Amino acid sequence: MRIGLHALGIGTGANRDVIDAVARRAERRGFATLWSGEHVVMVDEQASRYPYAADGKIAVPADADWLDPTVTLSFAAAATSTIRLATGVCLLPEHNPVIMAKQLASLDHLSGGRLTAGVGIGWSREEFDALGIPFERRGARTARYAEAMRTLWRDDPATYSSEFVSFDAIRVRPAPSRGSIPIVVGGNSDNALRRVADWGDGWYGFNLDDVDAVAERMHRITEMCASAGRSADELAVAVALRSPSVADIEPLAALGVTELVIVDAPPADAGEAVEWVDGLAAEWIR
């Protein structure tokens, strides 16, 4: 079981010195992956329901700093050499997929092939409205965008046509270091798991209640993969729990989870952030 850390890019984790300190120390202490999530827009009065909390409210205040994850991970990549990097998650339907393919491939190229692209469809209608992007059918848009990005990473020149994006004989370089970039799908709903089974390279389950909740979702993924003609064993599975315990590691591994992601916020002081990573490593890294 790998242990990942979801701590960079938001609030105290948006400070350059803290990013450097956490990234370097996490790599040294054996964490597998640095995860960084995304919101382009936050609003003070949120009518949309946040799906990862019982009260439907996101815990991050609207006025918190929230860095672009590809920029955050670029700084983390420059400070490290081996730890993996993952967007967790990038809200793909909010972006032009040609530009996003370029940004992700650039980060993957400069990091030496260490990137995983975690993507989600988004939940905030207010955010989509501010960006001028339709909230409806964002799931279908995400699927086509992911397909288009894989085409750009695979073919040179690349041609693709769908309802949401089309291009003809274009070159978008650099190519990813290893030919493509794994795309894992975030979200806990049945619709999200269907995307995992239909076209994802893996699943990022976020803020799940406990091991039993993971087991139920993994069972659904297995069923959906079977219906899609593939095996769930080929998926990379990362999960974050609301209140994780070291005792969860063994049962999660038995379910097929490949990475447990610890979600926390570092101290604002870089020196204290190093000690904070050491404390997490002492608890979680075996």
Peptide bond before residue 98 is cis, with ω within 30 degrees of 0? no
The pTM of the full predicted model, rounded to 2 decimals, is 0.96
Average pLDDT over residues 179-204: 98
- Could you give the percent of the chain with pLDDT greater than 70? 100
Per-residue model confidence as pLDDT tens digits over 209-230:
999 999 999 999 999 999 999 9
Q: What is the mean pLDDT of residues 158-174?
A: 98
Distance CA 41, CA 63 (A): 10
DSSP string, 84-153: EEEEEEEEGGGS-HHHHHHHHHHHHHHHTS-EEEEEE----HHHHHHHT--STTHHHHHHHHHHHHHHHH
Q: Is the peptide bond before 174 cis (omega within 30 degrees of 0)?
A: yes
pLDDT band at residue 286 under the 50/70/90 scheme: confident
Encode pLDDT of 61-92 as tens digits.
Answer: 999 999 999 999 999 999 999 999 999 999 99
Average pLDDT over residues 1-26: 98
Q: What is the mean pLDDT of residues 261-285?
A: 98
Confidence (pLDDT) at 30: 98
Enumerate residues 6+ apart whose C-beta is below 8 A from 31.
Answer: 3, 4, 5, 83, 277, 281, 285
Q: Provide the mean pLDDT of the chain.
A: 97
- How high is the pLDDT of residue 235? 97
CA-closest candidate to residue 118, choices 128, 131, 130, 104: 104
Asked whether the CA dihedral 111, 112, 114, 115 is positive or negative, the reply is: positive
Contact 23, 83 (CB under 8 A): yes
Which residues, in sequence order, are CB contacts of 173 under 8 Å at separation 6+? 105, 156
Instruction: Report percent pLDDT > 90 for the chain.
Output: 100
Spatial contact of 86 and 6, defined as CB atoms under 8 Å apart: no
Asked if residues 259 and 32 have their Cβ atoms less than 8 Å apart, the reply is yes
